[in-house]
Structure 1
Amino acid sequence: MSSDEKLLTANGVELCTETFGEPGDPAVLLIHGAAHSMVNWPEALCRRLADGPRFVIRYDGRDTGRSTTSEAGAPAYTLRDLVDDAAGLIDALGLAAVHVVGMSQGAAVGQLLALDHPQRVATLTLASGTPGGPGHHHPDLPAPAPEIQALFEAEPAPVDWSDRAAAVDAIVEGERPYAARTAPFDEAAVRESAALTFDRAADLAAQMTNPFLLDAGEPWRDRLPHISAPTLVLHGTEDPMFPFGHGEALADAIPGARLLPMERTGHEIAPPRVWDEVVAAVLAHTADRTA
């Protein structure tokens, strides 16, 4: 474990965290997507935000990285537990409130955190999300791209997650369909991230399986107008999982929310080509607010 990483107890589980910047600066909590660990938030991006100045926190959610794991195929928790984990982590860090940035499944966690623990959320930034979270059917919103639907319908090829080369290849190929089509797929960067993922995973089989099996609970799209935290919605214009209409609907549902399109971006952590705009937007959104 890196000397900069710490295991903290939150909501009865151990979560591995890493921070950037000074604790006295406004705190920004990064919540990753399904099957991602904290290293999927690139260190360079974290440092760009920390230079804001911000106190940036990235962490491994359950079943990812070095945090508490369940048996692969049998997650002993629900999506709501991930929400309570985030609230518990804020407590464990000794913070009253944070600026929440959630991506994909992390955007779902962020929505529920703002609804169920509003005092913990100074501002909310939702990237690559959908109103009400994944796992709920919304026939008024655009369906995933055909190639993504085909992935869901196909029987996944077996992967030996203990074999480093095979696992890294599988992670890279798993990310490729979700990237933008009008920009080159940065295989080298994704491969580097996949190698980091493998090297620090307590149980990679659980990480690559369990987040997709979670019970999302009751739909909450109708509750979104009750979010009081100032909200910024970031959404890729080429998102094949949640097409751009999902970002528009999410921004429309939350009072006062601002939508920032991420051009030439798919269903992915903001790529470096949009960092200038995204970092500036997040820093502006989190300025002069209590956290």
Structure 2
Amino acid sequence: MLCAETYGPGGGPPIVLIGGASSSMDWWVPGFCRQLAAATAGRVIRYDHRDTGRSPACPAGEPDYTGADLADDVLTLADGPLHLVGVSMGGAIAQRVAIEHPGRVASLTLIATTFAAGGPGDLPPPEPRVRAAFGEPPPDWRDRDAAVERITADVGRLSGTIPADPEEVRELARRVFDRTTDMAAAQTNHWILPDGRPLTGRTADITAPTAVLHGTHDPLFPPPHGAALAAAIPGARLVELPGMGHEVPPRPLWPLVIGEIVKVTAAGYVPGTTGR
């Protein structure tokens, strides 16, 4: 069973926050969750993916699940239609759920992500600084200090022009380390997952009301990814996040991001229905 936390007692479809690869729920910080729950008068769920936080872990390099299983996990968090908010890999997971289970998705907010399926082949690659980071040898993930410093460095490489306090990032990384059953598994397994069952639909088949939020300084998925994704989903709205890199939205952008989630969740939920 996945480890999850809920904020807010509100009714209607819950808002499920889906993290990126190797990311536990900790990256959706409690302050953001509380503000989102208050703004929507709804229920917000954050959770640990498999191999992160307190959710079940496999040995590093030996995941016993697939990418499709990570999408199926979302549907176990609550009954009925869901508002899905996904960042990076979480955005791809949200797209897959919307394609395969349209009746379970009330709305989509896709942040710092790209196509789960059926995207164009001419989108720009990651910036050189990101490609170089992917080639670095991993630290000893059992060493708390080494793990914290590597996570802090990776956050810095993926950030945009909005300054981040390195000590705040280190403190969050310490919390991640302390909550994670197996850091080597958390930092390895999501990157080697097989897709699992074929995804027969395309991102362009999504029918849920959708907002695409993309940083103007995203070095992993440069801005054309967000623009193309929004253009491909019928009726989707593109919102540029000024100064944001490839990251969970930083605090200065919370009012903008929460405001956009309020809009799309209001569009996606009609009382008495089972979703769109």
CA deviations on 1:212-249 (whole Å, 9 max, x unpaired) are 11123588697122111000001001000000000001
- 1:120 aligned to 2:104? yes
**Residue 153 of structure 2: SS of its match in structure 1?**
helix
Counterpart among 103, 126, 130 of residue 114 in structure 2: 130
The alpha-carbon deviation at position 179 of structure 1 amounts to 0.3
- CA shift for structure 1 position 184: 2.0
Using a 3 Å threshold, how does the CA distance of structure 1 residues 194 and 276 change in structure 2: closer, same or farther? same
Q: Determine whether 1:172 maps to 2:152.
A: yes
Unaligned segments of structure 2, at least 5 residues: none
Say whether residues 1:62 and 2:42 are aligned partners.
Answer: no
In the alignment, the residues of structure 1 paired with residue 120 and residue 265 of structure 2 have an alpha-carbon distance, to the nearest angstrom, of: 31
2:247 & 2:234 partners in 1: Cα distance? 25
SS at match of 2:213: strand
- State the SS of the aligned residue for 1:225: helix
Counterpart selection for 1:240 from 216, 219, 234:
219
Post-superposition Cα deviations, 1:222-277, rounded to whole Å, max 9, x if no partner, equal 71221110000010010000000000011011000001100000000001111111
Equivalent residue letter for 2:137: A
Say if 1:178 and 1:239, in contact at 8 Å, map to a contact too.
Answer: yes
SS for the counterpart of 2:226 is: helix
- Whether contact under 8 Å (2:100, 2:201) holds in the other structure is no
2:151 is matched by which residue type in structure 1? I
2:128 corresponds in structure 1 to 146
- Report Cα offsets for 1:68-118 as digits up to 9, x if no partner: 11110111111111011111223xxxx211100000000000000000111
The residue that corresponds to 2:87 in the other structure is 103
SS for the counterpart of 1:286 is helix
SS in 1 for 2:106: strand
- Two-structure CA RMSD over aligned residues (Å): 1.9
**2:13 touches 2:81 (CA, 8 Å); kept in 1?**
no
**Is the aligned partner of 1:254 residue 2:236?**
no
Q: How many residues align?
A: 269
- Preserved CA contact (<8 Å) 1:87 1:117: no
Which range is displaced more, 208-217 or 55-64?
208-217
- Secondary structure of the corresponding residue to residue 287 of structure 1: helix
What is the TM-score of this pair, normalised by structure 1? 0.87
Question: 1:24 offset after TM fit, Å?
Answer: 2.3
Q: Which runs of 5+ in 1 are unaligned?
A: 1-13
Task: Call closer, same or farther: CA 1:159–1:213 in 2, change over 3 Å.
Answer: same
Distance 1:240 1:115 in 2: 27
Q: Percent of aligned pairs with the same residue?
A: 46
Q: 2:206 aligns with which of 227, 230, 250?
A: 227
1:1-291 to 2 correspondences below 5 Å: 14-52=1-39, 53-90=41-78, 95-132=79-116, 139-152=121-134, 154=135, 156-180=136-160, 182-216=161-195, 223-287=202-266, 289-290=269-270
SS at match of 2:139: coil
User: 2-side partners of 1:272 and 1:236: how far apart?
Assistant: 14
After superposition, give the CA deviation of every residue in 1:114-149 in whole Å (9 maximum; x if it has no partner). 00111111001100110126xx99531011111112
Contact kept in structure 1, 2:124 and 2:224, CA below 8 Å: yes
Give the Cα separation in 2 of the matches to 1:74 and 1:187.
32
State TM-score, norm by structure 2: 0.92
In 2, Cα distance between the equivalents of 1:28 and 1:183?
Answer: 26
